[in-house]
């Protein structure tokens, strides 16, 4: 159902405020970190269609930040698909190069297959920098926890909202968008439970 699914994810998405690109706040950090989502290795698709929405929004927002104020960009992510040839980090590097980011400002570690291992890989090359962390709004609570656990100071930069900032109760029939929104929320809540109580 539409509204229950919004309520389910809104608690996660509302944890950190939106940081506008024109804000001076993120310019005080030392680097931009963009967490990987996915990429379809299918050259028959148009370039923009090879990126799921989570990847496209994370990367595009970070590229726009860089255009406003250039600083190092850090990327991680190993090969994910069983038939893939290249790492998620290398695909994301290519995205940023296409968007005009200087290759010398892109730092890649092709390791990590989930949030925890990706962040562990990034920590090894971030070297204590204060970072602007760009990822999906619902993903930030979990991601910030892992960075702060490794003594990395983080400014959360939320993107890819699946609920509106001012959601009002509405009646509606079940739909695929609501199912996806619920699935994403449950995935994050289960990840938080694992993070805090299981590992």
What total of structural domains would you count in the chain?
1
Domain that holds residue 35: 17-162
Q: What is the DSSP-derived secondary structure letter of residue 197?
A: I
Kindly list the distances between the CA atom of residue 9 and the CA atoms of 131, 144, 163, 182, 196, in Å, as whole numbers in the listed order: 25, 17, 7, 7, 19
Q: Is residue 188 part of a domain?
A: no
- Domain for residue 175, yes or no? no
Question: Would 96 be classed as within a structural domain?
Answer: yes
In a domain, 104, yes or no: yes
In this prediction, what percent of the chain has a pLDDT beyond 90? 78
40 within a domain of the structure (yes/no)? yes
Asked if residue 83 belongs to a domain, the reply is yes
DSSP states of 88-120: HHHHHHHHHHHTT--GGGEEEE---SSHHHHHH
Q: What is the pLDDT of residues 43-55, one digit of tens each?
A: 999 999 999 999 9
The model's pTM: 0.91
pLDDT at 179 over 90: no
Q: 10 Å Cβ neighbour count for 2?
A: 18
């Amino acid at each position: 159902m539409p509204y229950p699914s919004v309520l389910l994810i809104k608690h996660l998405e509302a944890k950190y405020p939106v940081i506008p690109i024109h804000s001076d706040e993120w310019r005080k950090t030392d680097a931009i970190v963009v967490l990987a989502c996915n990429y379809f290795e299918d050259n028959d698709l148009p370039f923009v269609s090879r990126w799921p929405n989570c990847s496209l929004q994370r990367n595009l927002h970070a590229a726009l930040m860089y255009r406003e104020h250039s600083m190092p960009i850090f990327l991680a992510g190993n090969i994910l698909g069983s038939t893939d040839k290249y790492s998620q980090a290398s695909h994301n590097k290519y995205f940023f190069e296409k968007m005009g980011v200087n290759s010398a400002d892109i730092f890649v570690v092709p390791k990590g297959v989930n949030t925890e291992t990706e962040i562990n890989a990034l920590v090894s090359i971030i070297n204590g920098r204060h970072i602007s962390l760009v990822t999906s709004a619902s993903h930030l609570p979990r991601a910030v926890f892992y960075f702060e656990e490794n003594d990395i100071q983080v400014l959360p930069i939320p993107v890819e909202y699946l609920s509106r900032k001012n959601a009002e109760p509405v009646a509606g029939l079940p739909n695929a968008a609501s199912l996806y929104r619920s699935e994403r929320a449950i995935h994050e809540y289960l990840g938080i439970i694992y993070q805090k109580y299981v590992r």
